[in-house]
Amino acid sequence: MKNKTEENINDSEPNKETPAYSGVLAVKVDDLTVAYNYKPVLWDIDLEIPEGVLMAIVGPNGAGKSTLIKSILSILKPIAGSVTIYGKPYDKQRKLVAYVPQKGSVDWDFPTTALDVVMMGTYGSLGWIKRPRQKEKKAALEALEKVGMLAFKSRQISQLSGGQQQRIFLARALVQNASIYFMDEPFQGVDATTEIAIINILKELRKAGKTVIVVHHDLQTVPEYFDWVTFLNVKKIATGPVKDIFNDDNLTKTYGINYKVSIQE
Amino acid sequence: MDITEYFSLVFTDYTLRTITLGTALLGAVTGMLGSFAVLRKQSLLGDAISHAALPGIAIAFLITGAKDSNILLLGALVSGLVGTFWIRAIITKTHLKSDTALGLILSLFFGFGMLLLTFIQKQPNANQAGLDKYLFGQAATLVESDVWMMAIVTGICLFVLLLFWKEFKTLLFDADYTKTLGFNTKFIDILITTFIVLAIVLGLQTVGVVLMSAMLLAPAAAARQWTNSLATMVFLAAIFGAFSGVFGTAISASQNNLSTGPVIVLVAAVFVVFSFIFSPSRGLLFKQIRFIKNRRDLELHKTLAFMHHIAETHENISHPHAIKLLNNFQGFTKKTLQKLVEKNYATIDGSMWSLTDLGFETAANLYTKQSTEDE
């Protein structure tokens, strides 16, 4: 009896949820090395991300978190290494992957509306030249509703608050109806309301069997929001279920001040 | 010839018609493409490209010895493209920032071009006169075939723009994201840049190397002020550009000896200044007016709130109080009180004031109303 009550409590705690780990690998990264100049930003990264996890990538500034995502998505060209999505090269699997860039990476004074930005999420499946039609518009409106931004659909994007802009970016990725979502600091500079809205959407995605990978800065919320975590500091420190590896040892290894990597190694 | 005479002649006179059509087309196509340059924060690219085209003109002349404008512009196109790709190479391969790369290529190519021009002028070839028209442009030398050329390029440009509209738009807004969608962003990028170079080269004969970038930027900068839609912006920029061409030609034709290129650019500048000041949403004038009005409203509301605060202390809300009391409140003036009376929020009786029911209620709801309006 005692065990059962414990289980119930465990079930109600988000951090103790068993990840829907089916044994299928959503993303596999092998020997990934990336350098901007001479100094490697990422060194020999091997990473296996099982399907259905909600994973945080944590690490100090300059640890290569964004670079890792950008390299997986072929935005940056790695020096070495390979990436497969469900066993095939990323290039063949683009439609399974959606990307939420950092909010600050674009100019929000661009002359366009919230709906227009979300519509961009449909462009990938449309392909070259074809115009979005009613079907695409409907999908975009649905995504806007999911992030609670339907009322702002005609708003010029510069007139949205930071949190609203982040939600627009999220909606744009949702429209892609992908299997794997990569998000670069979606919680940066958003208020509590938006943070809750975003995390609810992430959890919904996981419930639907999607894999979500999030670059995350707030260590406090890792156990609460995520079930999988990767510690990164140029090298991969550890990756696995939060309840197993989210501990002081790994945190010190990742954030410790003496940690250094060089090519000579 | 005065301006009315110009407009009566423009449809019948061959030269005037040719020049007007040419400058209008040029303005339209550079306005369209300029929108993209401005939104990509590559405003200076046009300047660099037009200057980079100069050595091409000189080299084309040196090789062929002919002054056929199509051949010279072909040379300009080649060296303009070379300059553009060097700029891109410098930005991607070195640590230099884009403004440095642009400035470097601009001055290098222009210097080299000037060197070649002076060299050509020293040649005993009688044919060499007139190459310097590409420096400041000479619209009067436009002939019908030039205009046809511009019409064709404008047509192709418009077609490509409509065809790849969605690709252009996403690339301009978020290049990395566009890449993840599976689009070849390099191709889209090269397509845009090539058309920008093409438009600039087309304008060299009319406006000249030195002023060409203004044709690219001014209509786009003006158009941005009036709209929050990319399509409208591109369309408006084309219209502004075309009108600058027509008005510029009209003014220069009606005033003897005024060079057309600079006048066109000045007309475009007038569009810019006008737009910066008078655009309803982004213009300086209305921004200031809105700012002042908001301040006045806030002052009024704060005064009302202060009065509400006093009136609250009495059981009877319409109990009169001395106007003197209001002097304790910093934002208070006789005028605001007058305004409150006009709005039926308060009444004045001699040196006493009292809130009306309406005023009391409005004041009580001020804060909640303010916060709902915010969101």
Q: B182 CB near a chain A CB, below 8 Å?
A: yes
Which of A86-100, B273-287, B334-348 shows the lowest per-residue confidence on average (mean pLDDT)? B334-348
Q: What is the pLDDT of residue A23?
A: 76
Q: Looking at the complex, does the CB of residue A131 fall below 8 Å from at least one CB of chain B?
A: yes
Q: What CA–CA distances, in Å, run from A184 to A69, B7, B180?
A: 8, 59, 14
Tens of pLDDT, residue by residue over A141-168, are: 999 999 999 999 999 999 999 999 999 9
Query: Which of B166, B173, B180 shows the shortest C-beta gap to A110?
Result: B173
Reading the block at residue B251, the tokens are: 């003014």
Distance of CA B261 to the CA centre of its chain: 18
Nearest CA-CA distance, residue B184 and chain A, Å: 10
Question: B220 with B314, same domain?
Answer: no
Could you tell me if B253 and B354 lie in one domain? no
pLDDT tier for residue B318 given thresholds of 50, 70 and 90: confident
The pLDDT of B370-375, averaged and rounded, is: 44
pLDDT tier at A262, thresholds 50, 70, 90: very low
Res. A122 pLDDT band, cuts 50 70 90: very high
- pLDDT tens string B195-234: 999 999 999 988 999 899 999 999 999 999 999 999 999 9
CA–CA separation, A168 and A107 (whole Å): 14
Instruction: Encode burial over A179-195: b for 16+ CB neighbours within 10 A, e otherwise.
Output: bbbbbbbbbeebeeebb
The pLDDT, as a whole number, for residue A187 is: 93
Q: How many Å lie between the alpha carbon of A94 and the closest alpha carbon of chain B?
A: 7
Please give the average per-residue pLDDT across B110-114, as a whole number: 95
Would you tell me which residues 36-65 of chain B have a C-beta closer than 8 angstroms to some C-beta of chain A? Answer: 39, 41
Identify which has the larger pLDDT, B367 or A47: A47
Dihedral of CA A54/A55/A61/A62: which sign? negative
CATH of the domain at B349: 1.10.10
Residue B370 maps to a domain: no
In B, minimum Cα distance to A97 occurs at B180
Which residues of chain B neighbour A131 with C-beta distances below 8 Å?
165-166
Question: In the predicted model, is pLDDT for residue B254 greater than 60?
Answer: yes
Residue at B50 is within a domain: yes
pLDDT of residue A16: 43
Decide if A1 touches B, using CB distance below 8 A: no
Split at pLDDT 50, 70, 90, the class of A6 is: very low
Question: pLDDT by residue (tens digit) across B167-178?
Answer: 999 999 999 999
Q: Is A70 on the interface with B (CB under 8 A)?
A: yes
State whether B259 and B299 are in the same domain. Answer: no
Partners of residue A110 in chain B, C-beta under 8 Å: 39, 172-173, 230
CB contact under 8 A, B166 and A97: no
Task: Give the CA count within 13 Å in the CB-facing half-sphere of A166.
Answer: 23
- What total of structural domains would you count in chain B? 2
Q: Is residue B127 part of a domain?
A: yes
From the list B163, B170, B233, which residue is nearest A120 (CB)?
B170
- Mean per-residue pLDDT over chain B, rounded: 87
Does B327 reside within a domain?
yes
For chain B, say whether A120 makes contact (Cβ under 8 Å): yes
Question: Between chains, do A131 and B166 touch, taking CB under 8 Å as contact?
Answer: yes
Q: Tell me how close the Cα of B88 comes to any Cα of chain A, in angstroms.
A: 17
Is the pLDDT at A4 greater than 60? The verdict is: no
In percent, how much of chain A has pLDDT > 90? Answer: 72
**Residue B233 lies inside a defined structural domain of this protein:** yes
For an interface test with B, give the residue of A67, A120, A169 to mutate (most B CBs within 10 A). A120
CA distances from B357 to A114, B314, B326, B339, B366 (A): 42, 14, 19, 16, 14
What is the number of CB-based contacts under 8 A between chain A and chain B? 78
Tokens of B67: 């002054």
Query: Among B213, B247, B281, which residue terminates a domain?
Result: B281
Asked if A110's CB is within 8 angstroms of B172's CB, the reply is: yes
Are B180 and A73 in contact (CB < 8 Å)?
yes
Query: In terms of CA atoms, which chain B residue is nearest residue A169?
Result: B177
Tell me: pLDDT of A2 over 50.
no
**Percent over 70 (pLDDT), chain A:** 88
Residue A178's region, left for phi above 0, alpha for psi from -120 to 50, else beta, is: beta
Q: Residue A110, SS3?
A: coil
Domain residues for B311? 286-364
Helix (H, G, I), strand (E, B) or coil at B134: helix
Split at pLDDT 50, 70, 90, the class of A8 is very low
Report pLDDT digits (tens) over B11-49: 788 888 899 999 999 999 999 999 999 998 888 888 999
- B163 vs A129: CB contact, 8 Å cut-off? yes
With an 8 Å Cβ cutoff, are A105 and B176 in contact? yes
Q: Which of B174, B224, B235 to mutate to test the interface with A (most CBs of A within 10 A)?
A: B174
pLDDT in tens, B45-62: 889 999 999 999 999 999
- Cα distances from A205 to residues A51, A185, A212, A241, in angstroms, run 12, 17, 8, 18
B332: pLDDT strictly greater than 90? no
Q: Which residues of B touch A132 (CB under 8 A)?
A: 166
Residue B131 in tokens:
């190459």
pLDDT score for B367 = 64
Does residue B346 belong to any structural domain of this protein? yes
In angstroms, the first-to-last Cα distance of chain B is: 59
* pLDDT over threshold 90, residue B64: no
* Mean pLDDT across chain A: 87
Quick one: B231 and B330 in the same domain?
no
- Least confident window among A18-22, B71-75, B135-139, B343-347: A18-22
Are B176 and A75 an interchain contact pair (Cβ–Cβ within 8 Å)? Answer: yes
Torsion sign over Cα B8, B12, B16, B20: positive
Residue B375 has pLDDT above 60, yes or no: no
Q: A261: pLDDT confidence band, cut at 50, 70 and 90?
A: very low
At B127 the pLDDT is 63
Identify whether residues B228 and B309 lie together within a single domain.
no
The whole-number pLDDT of residue A1 equals 39
Position B128 scores a pLDDT of 64
Residue A2 contacts B where some CB pair is shorter than 8 Å: no
Domain boundary among B281, B315, B339: B281
pLDDT of A14 over the 50 cut: no
For residues B313 and B209, membership in a common domain is answered with no
The rounded percent of chain B whose pLDDT value lies above 70 is: 95
Q: State whether B267 and B333 are in the same domain.
A: no
**Which positions in chain A touch B228 (Cβ < 8 Å)?**
111-113, 156
B205 and B334 share a domain? no
* Highest-pLDDT range among A21-30, B78-87, B332-341: B78-87
Q: Determine contact: B164 vs chain A, CB below 8 A.
A: yes
Q: Are residue B93 and residue B146 in the same domain, yes or no?
A: yes
> B143: which residues sit within 8 A by CB, 6+ positions away?
B18
> Would you state the pLDDT for residue A189?
86
Å from B171 to nearest chain A CA? Answer: 10
Which pLDDT score is estimated for B83?
A: 94
> Which of B235, B265, B281 represents a domain boundary (last residue)?
B281
B274 and B299 share one domain: no
- Measured between CA atoms, the residue of chain B closest to residue A175 is B181
Domain assignment present for residue B39? The answer is yes
What pLDDT does residue B32 have? 94
Judge whether residue A247 has pLDDT over 80. Answer: yes
State pLDDT tens for residues A163-217.
Answer: 999 999 999 999 999 999 999 999 998 888 899 999 999 999 999 999 999 999 8
B374 inside domain: no
The answer on B214 and B253 residing in a single domain is: yes
Q: Are residues B130 and B231 in the same domain?
A: yes
- Write the CB contacts of A106 (distance below 8 Å, at least 6 apart in sequence): B173, B174
pLDDT of residue A185: 94
Q: How far apart are CA B14 and CA B16, in angstroms?
A: 6
pLDDT at A46 > cutoff 70: yes
Q: What is the mean pLDDT of residues B93-98?
A: 84
Provide Rg for chain B, Cα atoms.
30
Instruction: Collect all residues of chain B within an 8 Å Cβ-Cβ radius of residue A123.
Output: 166-167, 170, 178, 181, 183
| CA–CA dist A32, A211 (Å, integer) | 20
pLDDT higher at A125 or B68: A125
Give me the mean pLDDT over the B128-143 stretch: 82
Nearest Cβ partner for A111 among B170, B179, B224: B224
| Chain B touched by A109 (CB under 8 Å) | no
The confidence score (pLDDT) of residue B373 equals 43
Q: How far does the CA of residue B37 sit from the closest CA of chain A (Å)?
A: 13
Give the CATH number for residue B200. Answer: 1.10.3470.10
The reply to whether B228 touches chain A by the CB within 8 Å rule is yes
